[in-house]
Structure 1
């Protein structure tokens, strides 16, 4: 099991994730602050959309590169690189969700975690 970091570094990590997303023109970037949500598995969820399989893959790769370059962290776990409709990168304190637009609407994570504080990032 990966060690949880302190909250300020989790916030810094979420900022790095956002930067990686914006480098590849991710759309509708939202940060969910999960710290006050009962039974939340992470401090932050960072969610974005891409328009194509290629863009979704590029966004996920950019996030990994920016996070590693600035914090020397790799995801503890990742899923979805094969189908490129929903790629999940788990950095323990920060969980990254890169969706193809229609998949994001279908899963509606923002609604599922509606009790989290939500911050929309303008790119």
Structure 2
């Protein structure tokens, strides 16, 4: 998959979410959900991908590794990243997909799953 990602821009967009989920699993992110927001009336983006970690160190590690993997293997840079200071919730914005890496307690508090429950949600296994 890596060679196709670097060579073909259309392939990049179509398979970005699969790549992100695969890398989250590689970095031991847990409770991964993908929200397809495209059918909603005024979505902020096309997709949210949400995962969690058991410590703020792990949150920071997952987010940092995702940015590096996406840059190195796909050639995309985030348009915006927020939350690195406290590292309880780091959002990485790739325009069509926003990744949310949460500390588990912070995820429960903000409950994005409840806020965006009208989206089509896909759950991925922990590895």
Normalising by structure 1, report the TM-score: 0.89
- Give per-residue Cα distances to partners, 1:77-120, cap 9 Å, x unaligned: 00000101000000000000000000000111011001100000
Number of matched pairs: 118
2:60 counterpart residue number: 57
The alignment status of 1:89 with 2:92, answered yes or no, reads: yes
Secondary structure (helix, strand or coil) at the match of 2:24 reads helix
Segment drifting more, 95-104 vs 62-71: 62-71
CA RMSD between the two structures: 1.6
Name the residue aligned to 1:48. Answer: 51
CA distance in 2, matches of 1:20, 1:68: 12
Long gaps (5+) in structure 2:
1-8
- Separation in structure 2 between the aligned mates of residue 65 and residue 18 of structure 1, nearest angstrom: 14
Q: What's 2:23 paired with?
A: 20
Does structure 1 residue 70 correspond to structure 2 residue 39? no
Decide which structure has greater helix share. Answer: 2
Superposed displacement of residue 9, structure 1 = 4.7
Partner residue, 2:117: 114
Which aligned runs of 4 or more in structure 1 are off by greater than 2 angstroms?
8-11
CA contact (8 A) 1:10 1:44 kept: no
